[in-house]
């Protein structure tokens, strides 16, 4: 069997490697350089703590308040965009307790296996992308914010077996001396969260593809998928190539809707642009990964570097770089940290997160094409779910039974 994978991000590459371990011939097609899109510059947080989707009760009000601030971490254009506004309508309709809980239970089936799947994957491929188990800090500058997480933390501890602990400011400063005294009232800690360096992971995955014998066609853009008698028979590229295969995987993240007609179902995915800045570790910088939860800024100290990231721009497939976003990220980090930056700046980056209204990815066969598997729409958890999503896809494509129920992630589900 020959499987063609479209998309060279973390999901596409893990799917390719999992299939090769099962003896499947694999060709991977990437329109640019391997791993250089959304997978490359994110903050590298593997977060089983992120069980609840963004669509929860009160989310719309919070987002509107954030957008009214001078330095808004969330932004969207005021111009008419039917697809975006339809997406936002469906998101709003899901901001209720019943739908949020249903999505959380579905996400948990994936998140419960996220860290262990990566550990097994690293061992199988003999790679080390600076993976560390240090937990995750959720830091608050107001008591109202800190207390507001209590109910969710208690629920995640009680119902999902996670380990959460609240720290007052003194306890926080003892645990993380890089925090500026007086900048926060305390934090919550989730012991299950881990992190790695995503650009290093992408480089190592690309090398593993070569070692495993995956045929890689990078800088090759797909124009269309050719379908005959209800099945995909070939990938047609913009430069005139026709690449035939037996099964096909669409793992293009935010780009997946571009090939929606072939799928035969709406892929309700919107690109949510995020930004990051990478530099050496500051001398007095933090040692633990953290999120300033009220300001939506993440900080990750890697073994060989340091990254700040944030923002969510719903501006369609806009490729412009807004340096004001980097300014907001840096200023926020400076508010909380003794030393927030270091020179030289190694990279300023942006990427499109593949956002869905219900917060769940699409993992399964396409309705209109019996041999097309969709593995896209992982929201902000693409890195977290990279290993388990690749393994699930490989299990199904190679004829095995998926280790978890994929019904909640069905392509064409009603959202």
pLDDT band per the 50, 70, 90 thresholds, residue 69: low
CA distance 384 to 11: 10
Model confidence at 65: pLDDT above 80: no
Model confidence at 43: pLDDT above 90: yes
Q: Residue 103 is encoded by which pair of tokens? A: 């999505």
Rounded average pLDDT over 393-398? 98
Rounded average pLDDT over 199-207? 98
Model confidence at 290: pLDDT above 70: yes
Output the pLDDT for position 68: 64
Rounded average pLDDT over 358-377? 97
pLDDT band per the 50, 70, 90 thresholds, residue 102: very high
Of 125 and 72, more confident: 125
Rounded average pLDDT over 317-325? 93
Model confidence at 282: pLDDT above 80: yes
Rounded average pLDDT over 312-329? 94
Task: Determine which of 64-78, 347-361, 390-404 has the lowest per-residue pLDDT on average.
Answer: 64-78
Output the pLDDT for position 137: 98
Please state, in angstroms and as integers, the Cα–Cα distance from residue 30 to each residue in 59, 165, 287, 391, following that order.
35, 42, 35, 20
Contacts of residue 216, defined as CB under 8 A and 6 or more positions apart, other chains included, come to 8, 27, 28, 30, 34, 206, 209, 210
Three-class DSSP labels, the chain: CEEEEECCCHHHHHHHHHHHHCCCEEEEECCCCCCCCCCCCCCCEECCCCCCCCCCCCHHHHHHHHHHCCCCCEECCCCCCHHHHHHHHHHHHCCCHHHHHHHHHHHHHHHCCHHHHHHHHHHHHCCCCCCECCCEEEEECCHHHHHHCHHHHHHHHHHHCCCEEEEEHHHHHHHCCCECCCCCCEEEEECCCEECCHHHHHHHHHHHHHHHCCEEECCCCEEEEEEECCEEEEEEECCCCEEECCEEEECCHHHHHHHHHHHCCCCCCEEEEEEEEEECCCCCCCCCCEEECCCCEEEEECCCCEEEEEEEECCCCCCCCCHHHHHHHHHHHHHHECCCCCCCCCEEEEEEEEECCCCCCEEEEECCEEEEEEEECCCCCCCCCHHHHHHHHHHHHCCCCCCCCCHHHCCCCCC
| Percent of the chain surpassing pLDDT 90 | 93
pLDDT band per the 50, 70, 90 thresholds, residue 80: confident
Model confidence at 70: pLDDT above 70: no
Rounded average pLDDT over 33-57? 95
Model confidence at 67: pLDDT above 80: no
- The pTM for the full model equals 0.96
Query: Please, what sign has the CA dihedral across residues 230, 235, 238, 242?
Result: negative
CA angle 413, 353, 376 (to 5 degrees): 40
Q: What is the residue extent of each domain of the chain?
A: 57-95+132-193+270-355
pLDDT band per the 50, 70, 90 thresholds, residue 61: confident
- Tell me which residue of 322, 324, 281, 274 sits closest to 300, measured CA to CA: 281
Output the pLDDT for position 149: 96
> Chain-wide mean pLDDT for the chain?
95
Output the pLDDT for position 73: 81
Output the pLDDT for position 366: 96
CB 10 within 8 A of CB 386: yes
Model confidence at 134: pLDDT above 80: yes
Output the pLDDT for position 14: 98
Output the pLDDT for position 62: 81
C-beta atoms surrounding 162 within 10 Å: 20
Rounded average pLDDT over 314-341? 95
Length of the chain in residues, anyone? 415
| Percent of the chain surpassing pLDDT 70 | 99
CA distance 116 to 352: 26
Rounded average pLDDT over 258-276? 94
Output the pLDDT for position 98: 97
Q: Is 316 exposed, middle or buried (0-12, 13-18, 19+ CB in 10 A)?
A: middle
Model confidence at 249: pLDDT above 80: yes
Select from 1.10.287.3510, 3.30.9.10, 1.10.3080.10, 3.30.420.310 the CATH code of 57-95+132-193+270-355: 3.30.9.10
Model confidence at 410: pLDDT above 70: yes
């Amino acid at each position: 069997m020959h499987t063609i994978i479209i998309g060279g991000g973390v999901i596409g590459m893990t799917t390719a490697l999992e299939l090769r371990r099962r003896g499947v011939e694999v060709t991977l097609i990437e329109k640019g350089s391997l791993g250089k899109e959304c997978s490359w510059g994110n903050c590298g947080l593997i977060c089983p703590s992120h069980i609840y989707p963004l669509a929860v009760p009160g989310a719309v009000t919070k987002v509107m308040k954030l957008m009214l601030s001078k330095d808004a971490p969330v932004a969207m254009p005021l111009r008419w965009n039917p697809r975006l506004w339809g997406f936002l309508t469906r998101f709003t309709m899901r901001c209720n307790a019943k739908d949020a809980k249903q999505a959380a239970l579905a996400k948990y089936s994936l998140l419960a296996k996220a860290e262990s799947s990566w550990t097994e994957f690293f061992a199988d491929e003999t790679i080390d992308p600076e993976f560390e188990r240090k937990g995750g800090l959720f830091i608050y500058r107001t008591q109202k914010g800190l207390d507001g997480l209590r109910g969710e933390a208690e629920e995640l501890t009680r119902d999902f077996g996670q380990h959460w602990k609240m720290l007052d400011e003194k306890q926080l400063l003892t645990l993380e001396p890089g925090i500026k005294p007086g900048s926060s009232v305390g934090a919550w800690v989730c012991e299950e969260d881990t992190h790695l360096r995503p650009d290093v992971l992408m480089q190592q995955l690309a090398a593993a593809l070569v070692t495993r014998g995956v045929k890689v066609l990078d800088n090759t853009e797909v124009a269309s998928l050719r379908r005959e008698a209800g099945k995909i028979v070939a990938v047609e590229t913009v430069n005139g190539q026709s690449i035939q295969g037996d099964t096909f995987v669409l793992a293009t993240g935010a780009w997946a809707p571009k090939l929606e007609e072939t799928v035969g179902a709406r892929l309700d995915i919107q690109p949510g642009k995020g930004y990051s800045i990478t530099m050496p570790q500051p001398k007095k910088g933090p040692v633990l990964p953290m999120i300033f939860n009220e300001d939506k800024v993440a900080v990750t100290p890697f073994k060989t570097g340091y990254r700040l990231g944030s923002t969510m721009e719903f501006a369609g497939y806009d490729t412009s770089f807004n340096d004001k976003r980097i300014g907001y990220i840096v200023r926020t980090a400076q508010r909380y940290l003794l030393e927030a930056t270091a020179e030289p700046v190694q990279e300023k980056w942006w990427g499109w997160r593949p956002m869905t209204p219900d917060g769940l990815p699409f993992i399964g066969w396409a309705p209109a094409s019996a041999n097309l598997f969709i593995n896209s729409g992982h929201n902000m958890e693409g890195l977290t779910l990279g290993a388990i999503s690749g393994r699930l896809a490989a299990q199904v494509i190679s004829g095995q039974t998926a280790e978890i129920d994929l019904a909640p992630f069905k392509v064409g589900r009603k959202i």
